[in-house]
Chain A
Amino acid sequence: MFYLDHAASSPLRPEAWEAMAPFREEIYGNPSGGHAVSRRAKNALEDARDLAAALLNADPLEIVFTGGGTEADNLAVKGSAFAAETPGGIVTAPVEHDAVLQSARFCGEAGRRLSLVKVDRDGLIDPDEVASHVASRTGVVSIMMGNNETGVRQPVEETVRAAKASNPSVSFHTDAVQGYVSERVDVDALGVDMLSLAAHKFGGPKGVGLLYVRSGTPLQPLIHGGGQELGRRSGTHNVMAAVGMAAAMAALEEDRDRFRARTAAERDSFESTLSALVPGVVFTAAEAPRMVQTSHVRIPGVLNEVLLVRLDAAGAAASAASACQSGAATVSHVLEAMGMTPAEARECLRFSFGWSTPAGEGAAAARLVAREVEALR
């Protein structure tokens, strides 16, 4: 069995599992309570916050735990657009994840000014073009780090500088849900004001994430209630998941060099083996800066929906990268923005490697893909 869909979700790292073990019996209190049982939970939560903050070079109070990457993106985009202190305009790109894009559209429908920048054929934004959209009315710019479909790495650092040069008071958000899997994040080095993570992409549990919010960034909370997370996100914390996430982050950092070397090697041998065996195969954005763990390919003449079924039957789990809620592969808005035709987009597949990818899997998976393509051609 080849698991080639880490970008959709990765297996739990043992370190995350172990960190969550005490929640089976010992830790169960409400972290907001006032007794010893609650304190145990509160301490576990705050230890997780300290750890996550340290790993991102942030202050612990700049970490807001959320129910995943989608929620973090929603909070960043809508929370900025609706913050009283900002003019509320949004600048983002058409290749963003739907969590950002649909949030931005929602704000647009609610009367906020929405600008979508252009992308080139690799899906890359141009920092100066982004800056040219940033006006006095702009409240937030949201440009992702690594693209979840193609693996392209946006020039976030330059874009932050260019955007802030246009309007120093603008907030800059980056969706680092995929990018963080691939490379270490230092929020100061990136220069961003907000940054989203999702634990399940790097070996933490599903349904938990965080939004880094630089101190002083205007933010309107979206979930109102008991005022947890300094009022930025109410609701009793998923303490166990937050602890699991922080442990997975620490494990990832520890494993960083090995992870990068392994996934890059497997991705590269996957691509070279596949190009040798499948005539006509095209790797998306192969010449652009890309995350090490993702390979996005187009196999002309082969419908992705059919190939995916064959791969599934043959024991290889991959994906078309863009799927609707029903699970159907849909023509991706990312590929469309890059200028692909719907017919071309239907020939695209994403293969993504991760922390548990064994050595040699890249080439072996490519041979299997080639065999199934052969059967279809």
Chain B
Amino acid sequence: MKVLVAMSGGVDSSVAAALVKESGWEVIGVTMKMWKGPGGEAPTAGCCTVADAEDARRVAAHLDIPYYVWDYTDEFMSGVVDVFIGDYLSGRTPNPCVECNRTVKFSRLLAHADALDCDAVVTGHYARITAEDGRRRLWRGVDPGKDQSYVLSMLGQDQLARLRFPVGELVKEETRRIAAELGIRTASKPDSQDICFVGRGDYRDFLAEQGVDSAPGPVLDRDGTVLGFHSGVSSFTIGQRRGLGVAVGARRYVIGIDPDTAAVTVGSAEDLEIEEAAVGGMSWVSGPVTGFLSAQYRAHGRAVMSEVSEAKGGGVRVRFSEPQRALACGQTLALYRGNEVVGGGIIESAA
């Protein structure tokens, strides 16, 4: 068995590499450089720093495996960051990690694994894959606090058959313990942020840094009365309560964003409630599933019992058993049966 391990320099992928190496497989380590600073240089803070690659390189040396850094900054920019910015400009709430996994990370790694005669790609994700009758099943990771199956919900059989997630069987403390035992440099490194390129700040600061200009427009209430004006749609997400710039008596939330007119509509908490969502671009682990499933639309959100039915154009309709707030178009919705992922798609409309 020969495998390609995606190493970020963090604890999880370092331990993943160590575990596969220990099991006697032939291992090649790679770091995918996804993000560069505004001037094109490697960032010194946030993700994809020179230091991260150095950490990964040290771990690889420690494990005595060959190690390479591959530059995907252009692909990441066009496939993930531009989509992210475009989504905010059109009033959607994107999930760049899912997009990255789909368009950059797994597609490149799997293609390169083939080119390097590797049987599988290994990552440090907290999720589990099992095989049954020649088919793969995808499950939540053992550690509920770390589970990352949501961002993997758009992987299909072809990809799952060639992926391994060794740390999905572990809880985080075990991962750290193994890292410490192995003397891995990154044992006590903090977990990475959810959106690597945005870093610790707010996505709005990131958009500003990227020089994104979005259209100013009116702030309306439900019946179209102009309550005020805002300076750009990209500063708003569905469910947002702060920074609306309008003074009305009751609490107001963003309930709608119209990219064409740049109008931001605000309403009460009840107005925010969503009972049903249309989900498109579906990807199924093992073919379409309908009926009672649980739905999750945030990386670390709660899964909600729902009734899923077929919709036109290959999408699904998801009826939630209880009204949802702050659900927005553009988000990924993952469907689970118990702890098993059955598929995922992108929320196209909600009512």
Contact = CB atoms under 8 A, between A and B. Distances in A.
Contact of A305 (B50, B57, B68, B117): B68
B31 interface: yes
A328 B33 CA distance: 8
Interface string B48-74: 001001100100000000101111001
A308 B68 contact: yes
B116 interface: yes
B71 A328 contact: yes
A326 B68 contact: no
B31 A306 contact: no
Given A326-B50, A327-B57, A342-B74, A313 B66 contact: yes
A136 interface: no
Nearest to B74: A342
A342 B53 CA distance: 23
B33 A326 contact: yes
B112 interface: yes
A310 B68 CA distance: 11
A83 to B, nearest CB: 28
Nearest to B66: A312
Contacts of A325: 42, 50
Given A312-B66, A324-B42, A325-B42, A330 B116 contact: no
B116 A305 contact: no
A310 B116 contact: yes
Contacts of A331: 71, 74
A309 B68 contact: yes
A370 interface: no
Nearest to B48: A326
Nearest to A325: B50
**From B28, B42, B53, B115, residue with most partner A Cβ within 10 Å:** B115
A329 B33 CA distance: 10
Contact of B69 (A306, A310, A328, A375): A328
Nearest to B112: A306
A306 B71 contact: no
Contacts of B54: 326
A327 B42 CA distance: 11
Nearest to A323: B69
B96 to A, nearest CB: 21
A375 to B, nearest CB: 8
B65 to A, nearest CB: 11
Contacts of B70: 305, 328-329
A326 to B, nearest CB: 4
A54 interface: no
Contact of A327 (B53, B112, B116): B53
A107 to B, nearest CB: 17
A312 B28 CA distance: 11
A165 interface: no
Given A306-B112, A376-B115, A327 B68 contact: yes
A310 B4 CA distance: 13
A202 to B, nearest CB: 28
A94 to B, nearest CB: 15
Contacts of A342: 74
Contacts of A303: 115
A329 B71 contact: yes
Interface string B19-57: 000000000100101000000001000000010011001
The 5 closest A-B pairs by CB, nearest first: A326-B53, A328-B69, A328-B71, A327-B69, A306-B115
Given A305-B68, A309-B116, A328-B69, 11 more contacts: A303-B115, A306-B112, A309-B28, A310-B115, A326-B31, A326-B42, A326-B54, A327-B69, A328-B53, A328-B71, A329-B70
11 contacts: A305-B70, A305-B112, A309-B66, A310-B116, A312-B68, A313-B66, A326-B31, A326-B53, A326-B69, A328-B69, A376-B115
Interface of B: 28, 31, 33, 42, 50, 53-54, 57, 66, 68-71, 74, 112, 115-117
